[in-house]
A and B are shown apart, each in its own frame.
Chain A
C-alpha cells in the first residue's frame, strides 16, 4: 500500500524505505505513509487527518466524495499494523470541522475503536476541531510533553526546540531538468519537526510559503518527501526555490 494508490485492494508489497532522523536528540523514523514513529517510546504520530472533510463540504453544498475518511483510516490502519505502537498521537485537525466526530458514521467509528484497542490514543486539538472529539476512544488535549519532545498542533513562534507540530501541511518541490515534482514532506532542521498532512484530501503548502518563515534554521533544514514506497530526503538548498 502507498499513499499514491489509495485503493483498499492495493496491498503492502514490499517493506518501505523509511528514513531515520534526530529531533532534538530523539531518534525518529519517517514513514512514506506519512506517520512518524519514535522507537524509544513506542509512539506513532500522525497529523492533520482532516477526517470527514467531504462531509464538512457537503454541509456547505459541495458534495465531495464521502470516501475520504475511509481512505485516510485505511492508510492509518496500515501504518499502525506496521509499527504496532504503544501510543498513537493524532496531532490536531483530526476532523475537518467541529461537527465531524459527532456525525461520524458508525462503521468508521468502529474502525477507529478497533485501531485504538490495546494502546493509548491521544487527540491533540487543532484549529479546525478545538473542542476535542465526541464518542471516540482516547483523550483530548491541547498539548503533550513526553519523551523529551513537545507535541502540539500549531508550531510555536517562541521556541521550537524539541517540538513536533502539524498545521502547516508542509510539501516540497523538486525540479530537475524540466521536470518538477511536488510532494508532502516531513520537514526538520534537527530542532523541530513539522509533520506532513495525513488526510487524503488535506493538500500541502510549499516550504517556501511565507507562512513557513521563521520556523526553521534553513541551513540545516531537510525535507523528507513522501515517495511511492520510500522517503526521499532533500536538503532545503537543493529544493526548488
Chain B
C-alpha cells in the first residue's frame, strides 16, 4: 500500500487504498491536505466538521472515510445475512442528492469499487423504496424527511444497525431551521441503533463553528467532546463590484428595473450568468423585462420554487449542458449544486446578509483557486449602502449566519409520535435520547411531559379526549400508538415545511363564446391568499407570462393569456429576507462615518450630504427620530435599521402607545431601514413641549402588556400558529382517503386559534407559537435588543418638511397592506356605499 502524507496540518499518517492512489494519479490530481486530514481523523474515530469554500472538494472529502472503509470491507457475498446501510448522506435539497449521486458514481465507477450508491427522496417510486428496505445500498443519499420516515418504521433497527457514517451536507443551512431540529432528533435515534456511528458535517463558513461541532455529537448530562474541525480557508478572493449605472437609482422599491439594460449587457459579455433575486416576484418581473429587450434572443430561463417541477428539471438539465446564457433564480438554486460553467453571478436587490451573499457568489466558477465574479445590483439607495456593506464584509470574511436556536416544540411533538410509530417507547429513555440532541439539550422534563400529553390527547386542561388518545401508556409504563391508522397518518403528514395553501395554475383558452376550455398546461402553484385578492380579469406575472385570472375551479386556478404589458404583479409575501443584524450594523456604521461613505456612488453621496444640511445622519448607536408635517398629517420617522419584521412589530406597538398618548395615529409603514408613523396631532410639537416623551415611548416595557394585548389580534401570530398546528400534528395536511390539498382544509386554524386562546391561553401549542414568533415573524428578540441599545441615545429633529433620508419610506406609504388591522373600517366604507346609494336622489 502506498502512503500519502498530508502536507499541511495534522500529523496523522493516512492510508489510501490502491485504487484511490491510482485514480488520483490517472487524473493528475493529488488528494488535498484537508481531505486526508479528515480521513485520518475520522478513521481514528472522531466525529468531524469540515468547513470549506465551494470548489474545495468537500463532497469527496466527506465520502472518503466511507469509501475507504467499504473498500476494506469488500463485496458482501450473496447469501450472507442481512446487511444494513453503511453510510447515510443527508442533504437539504432533493436535487442535491441526485447531483451527488452523479458526482459520486463517477469516481466509484472509474476506480471499479464494489460500492452501491442509491438515492431516496419523496420522488423515489414506492417499489424502489420497498426494495431498498429489503436490500439496502451501501450508501444512501437522502433528505431529513426520509430519515424521519425510515426511523418511524418497525424495520429501523435492522436497517440502521450497520451504520458507520452519517454525512451531513450544507450543514450550516440545515441546522438553523425546523428541519434541522427534526434531523437532530433523528441523529439521536440513529445513535441508538448504531452506537458507534460517526458524523461528518460539511459546511460553508459560519460565524460560530463550535455550534456545529456540538450539534454533530451527543449532548445531555455527559456531552461528548465537540466534533473535530478541519477549516479550509482561502480560495481566491471573489471579484465583486456594484453595478455602475448612468440611470437614476430609485429612492425606494425592490425591483431594480432601472438596471436591466446594463444587466443584459453583462449577460452578453459572459458565457453563463446566474441572476439571483430575493423573491419570486422579483424573479418574474426581471425575467419578463429581460425578454422585452432580448434582441439577440439569448436563451434566458427562469427558476423558482413555485414553478412546475417538470419545468424546473428542464431548466436544470439545460444548465448542466451549458445550453443557457442566463438563469433568473431565487433561493431554490442557493445551495451547492454544480451546474455548468457559470462565469458570472448577478445579485439583484440587496443580499440582506453577508453570508448569503458569499454562498450565492460561490456558485460562479466552481474552482477554488480562481476568483468568482459577481455584480451587485441595488434596487434603491439604501440598498446601495447595504450592498457596499455586504461587499466590505465579504472581503473581511465576516459572517452573519443565524444561531442554531432552541429546538422547536412542534417538531418535538411530531418526533415523539414518530418514535411511538417505530416501537413502544420508555418515556425516560426517550427523554435522555431527545436531550442528547443539541437543540433540545435544555428541554425540561416538565415540558417534555406536556408534549407527550399533547401527542396523546391534545394536552388540554379539559380532559375529554382520553378515549380517543393517539398514543397510550401500557402497563409496563411504555407508550405505544393506539392503532395502525395513527402511524399511517403520521407518515402522510411528516415534515416541517409548511407551504401556504397553494393552488395549481392551469393555462386555459377562452373559446369564441367566451367560455373557458378544459385541460391546458399546468404552470406551477401560487398561494391561495394571493388569489383571494384577485378579481376575475386581473392580470399578474407568473411563470414568465402575463396571465389573466379567470377563476377557481375545484382545486385549480384557471388563467388565460393576457396580452397585456401592465400586469398586476403577484406580491408573494414569503421570501423577503429581513436585513441581518450584522449588515444593519454595518449600514449604520457607514452612515456615521464619512470615510466609509467615500466608496458610495455620487448620487447616493449627494443624497446623504443634503440630509446632513437639512437634518443629521445618526451616529452608529444613536436612534434618529424625525418629525415633520406633510399634507394634513404629521409624520414621525424612526431610523432603526433592524429589518422589516422587527419594525412592523414596533409599528404596531408604537401606534397603540401613541393612541393612548392622544397623538391620534392613523397608520404606519415599515421597511428594512426605518419606520414611519403618521397621525392627526403634531407629534413634533408634542415631543417639544414634553407632553410626549420619546424615552417613554421607546421604553422596553412595551414588550410586556402592550405586546400581550396586541398578540390577541395579531394576524402574524395566527400564521405562526398555523405552522405549529400542522407540524405538531394537531391539523393534518393529508388524511388517508382524502388526499386533496389546498382548499379541502376542513377547519380553519384561525378559528382554532381564537377558541384556544380564549379558553386555554397557556396551552402548550400557544407557548410553541409565541416562542416561534419571538424569533420569526415578529422578531421580538431583535426588537428587544434594539430597545436596550438605544436607551439614552435617542435624538429628535423636528423639521418643517420631509428630509431626504425620509423620502424612501414616504414612497412606500400606501403600498403596504397590513392585514388584520382596521377591518371594520373597511366594512364601514363598503356599507356606506349602500347607504349613499339608497339615499341618492
Taking the closest CB of chain B, its distance from the CB of A4, in whole angstroms, is 8
Residues of A within 8 A of B9 (CB): none
Give every chain A residue within 8 A of B822 (Cβ-Cβ): 179
Tell whether, in the assembled complex, residue B755 and residue A71 are in contact, meaning their CB atoms are under 8 Å apart.
yes
B747's contact among A8, A64, A70, by CB below 8 Å, is which?
A64
Interface check A152, CB cutoff 8 A: no
Name which of B58-66, B604-612, B648-656, B827-835 contacts chain A.
Answer: B827-835
Q: Which 4 A-B pairs have the closest CB atoms?
A: A63-B458, A67-B759, A7-B758, A232-B831
Are A235 and B837 interface neighbours, CB within 8 A? yes
Q: Chain B residue with minimal CB distance to A108?
A: B464
Which residues of chain B have C-beta atoms less than 8 A from A173's C-beta?
A: 532
B470 on interface, CB distance cutoff 8 Å = yes
Evaluate contact between A70 and B759: CB separation under 8 angstroms.
yes
A234 in contact with B831 (CB, 8 Å): yes
**B536 pairs with A201, CB closer than 8 A:** no
> Which residue of A has the minimal Cβ distance to B823?
A181
State which of B532, B756, B763, B826 has its C-beta within 8 Å of the C-beta of A174.
B826
A53 close to chain B: CB less than 8 A: yes
Beta-carbon contacts of B156-194 to A below 8 Å, as 1s and 0s? Answer: 000000000000000000000000000000000000000
Do B533 and A180 touch (CB < 8 A)? Answer: yes
Query: Is the Cβ of B826 less than 8 Å from the Cβ of A65?
Result: no
What is the CB-to-nearest-CB distance from A213 to chain B, in angstroms, rounded to a whole number?
12
Q: Mark A210-231, 1 if CB is under 8 A from B, else 0.
A: 1000000000001001011000
Q: A222 to B535, alpha carbons, bound, how many Å?
A: 19
CB of A148 within 8 A of chain B?
A: no
B682 at the interface (CB under 8 A from A): no
Given contacts A66-B460, A240-B535, contact A232 B827 (CB under 8 A): yes
Q: Which stretch in B326-334, B729-737, B784-792 binds the other chain?
A: B729-737
B784-823 vs A, CB cutoff 8 Å, 1 = contact: the mask equals: 0000000000000000000000000000001101010011
A4: which B residues are within 8 A, CB to CB? 754
| B760: chain A residues within 8 A (beta carbon) | 65, 67
Residue A6, interface by CB 8 Å:
yes
**Residue from A55, A174, A240 whose CB has the most chain B CB atoms within 10 Å:** A174
Interface size on A, residues (CB 8 A): 49
Least CB distance from A190 to B in Å reads: 15
Q: Which residues of A contact B754 (CB under 8 A)?
A: 4, 6, 200
- Whole-angstrom CA separation of A67 from B766 in the bound complex: 15
Interfacial residues of chain B within 451-467, with CB under 8 A of chain A in the complex: 454, 457-460, 462, 464-465
- The complex places the Cα of A59 from the Cα of B465 at a distance, in Å, of 8
Q: Complex formed: what's the CA distance from A210 to B552 in Å?
A: 9
Give which listed residue, A7, A63, A175, A178, contacts B465 with CB less than 8 A: A63
Bound together, the chains give a CA A221 to CA B752 distance in angstroms of: 31
Contact status A175-B533, CB under 8 Å: yes
CB contact between A58 and one of B454, B465, B817, B819 (< 8 Å): that residue: B465
Tell me if A191 counts as interface (CB < 8 A to partner B).
no
Q: How far is it, in angstroms, between the C-alpha of A176 and the C-alpha of B747 when the chains are bound?
A: 27
With both beta carbons as reference points, the residue of chain A lying nearest to B731 in the complex is identified as: A62
29 A-B residue pairs with CB within 8 Å = A58-B465, A61-B468, A61-B485, A62-B731, A62-B732, A63-B458, A63-B465, A63-B470, A65-B755, A66-B458, A67-B462, A68-B755, A71-B755, A175-B533, A175-B535, A178-B815, A179-B822, A183-B827, A200-B751, A200-B755, A201-B748, A201-B755, A203-B751, A232-B828, A235-B833, A235-B834, A238-B830, A239-B830, A241-B536
A42 at the interface (CB under 8 A from B): no
Residues of B within 8 A of A235 (CB): 833-834, 837
- Measured between C-beta atoms, what is the minimum distance from A174 to chain B in Å? 4
CA distance in complex: A65, B759 (Å): 9
Q: Residue A60 at the B interface, CB < 8 A? A: yes
Q: How far is the CB of B67 from chain A (nearest CB, A)?
A: 44
Tell me which residues across on chain B come within 8 A of A202, comparing CB atoms.
Answer: 751
**B413, chain A: closest CB distance, angstroms:** 11
Cα separation A39 to B150 with both chains bound (whole Å) = 64
Q: Are A105 and B464 in contact (CB under 8 A)?
A: yes
- Asked if B824 is at the interface of the complex by the 8 Å CB criterion, the answer is yes
The contact string, 1 if C-beta is below 8 Å from chain B, for chain A 41-62, is: 0000000000001010111111
A222 to B831 Cα, complex, angstroms: 11
> Which residues of B have CB within 8 Å of A227?
824, 827
Shortest distance from the beta carbon of A93 to any chain B beta carbon, whole Å: 13
The answer to whether the Cβ of B489 comes within 8 Å of any Cβ in the partner chain is yes
Alpha-carbon distance between A235 and B830 when the two chains are bound, in angstroms: 9
Contact B831 A65 (CB under 8 A): no
Bin chain B's interface residue count.
35 or more
List chain B positions with a Cβ less than 8 A from chain A.
454, 457-460, 462, 464-465, 468, 470, 485-486, 489, 532-533, 535-536, 553, 730-732, 735, 747-748, 751-752, 754-756, 758-760, 763, 814-815, 817, 819, 822-824, 826-831, 833-834, 837
**Alpha-carbon distance between A53 and B465 when the two chains are bound, in angstroms:** 13
Contact, CB under 8 Å: B752 / A65: yes
* A71 lies within 8 A of B468 (CB): no
* Contact A203/B747 with A65-B752, A234-B830 known, Cβ cut-off 8 Å: yes
Residue on B nearest A234 in the bound complex, by CB:
B830
A127 in the interface (beta carbon within 8 A): no
Q: Is the CB of B817 within 8 A of A179?
A: yes
- B831 close to A57 (CB less than 8 A): no
Residues in A whose Cβ lies below 8 Å from that of B533: 175, 180
Give complex CA distance A14, B243 in Å. 61
Q: Which of A63, A181, A241 contacts B457 (CB 8 A)?
A: A63
Contacts of B831 in A (CB 8 A): 232-234
- Name the contact of A238 in the complex, choosing from B465, B553, B834 (C-beta under 8 A): B834
Query: Measured between C-beta atoms, what is the minimum distance from A12 to chain B in Å?
Result: 16
The interface residues of chain A lying within 8 Å CB-to-CB of B735 are 60
Closest A residue, CB atoms, query B463: A66
CB distance from B489 to the nearest CB of A (A): 6
Residues on A with C-beta less than 8 A from B837 are: 235
- Residues on B with C-beta less than 8 A from A178 are 814-815, 817
Q: Is the pair B465, A66 in contact by a Cβ cutoff of 8 Å?
A: yes
Among A67, A181, A203, contact of B755 (Cβ-Cβ < 8 Å): A67
Is the beta-carbon distance between B756 and A57 smaller than 8 angstroms? no
Contacts known (A70-B759, A173-B532); A61 close to B828, Cβ less than 8 A: no
Cα distance A68–B468 in the bound complex, in angstroms: 17
Contacts of B834 in A (CB 8 A): 222, 233-235, 238
B152 to chain A, nearest CB (A): 15
Contact mask for chain A residues 148-184; partner B; CB cutoff 8 A; 1 contact, 0 none: 0000000000000000000000000111101111110
If A55-B464, A61-B489, A64-B747 touch, does A174 touch B827 (CB 8 Å cutoff)? yes
Question: A52: shortest Cβ distance to chain B, in Å?
Answer: 10
Q: How far is the CB of A197 from chain B (nearest CB, A)?
A: 10
A7-B758, A201-B752, A232-B827 provided; 13 other pairs, C-beta below 8 A? A5-B758, A6-B759, A61-B470, A62-B731, A64-B747, A65-B756, A65-B760, A70-B759, A71-B755, A176-B826, A210-B553, A233-B831, A233-B834
Cβ of A62 and Cβ of B756 under 8 Å apart?
A: no
In the bound assembly, the distance between CA atoms of A55 and B458 in angstroms comes to: 11
Q: Which residues of A contact B468 (CB under 8 A)?
A: 55, 58-59, 61, 63
Residues of B with C-beta under 8 A to A233:
831, 834
- Whether A64 contacts B824 by the Cβ 8 Å rule is no
Q: Is B830's CB under 8 angstroms from A6's CB? A: no
When A71-B758, A71-B759, A201-B752 are in contact, do A65 and B470 touch as well, CB less than 8 Å? no
Nearest-CB residue, chain B, relative to A201: B751
Q: Which residues of A contact B830 (CB under 8 A)?
A: 174, 176, 232, 234, 238-239
Contact of A66 among B462, B731, B817 (CB under 8 A): B462
Known A-B contacts A61-B486, A66-B465, A67-B462; the reply to A234 vs B833 at CB < 8 A is yes
* Residues of chain A within 8 A of B732, CB atoms compared: 61-62
- Give A5-47 as 1s and 0s: 1 = Cβ < 8 Å from B's Cβ atoms: 1111000000000000000000000000000000000000000
A181 touches B532 (CB 8 A): no
Among A8, A105, A238, A240, which residue has its beta carbon within 8 angstroms of that of B833? A238
Most buried by A among B748, B822, B831: B831
Q: Would A65 and B829 be within 8 Å (CB), given that A70-B759, A105-B464 are in contact?
A: no
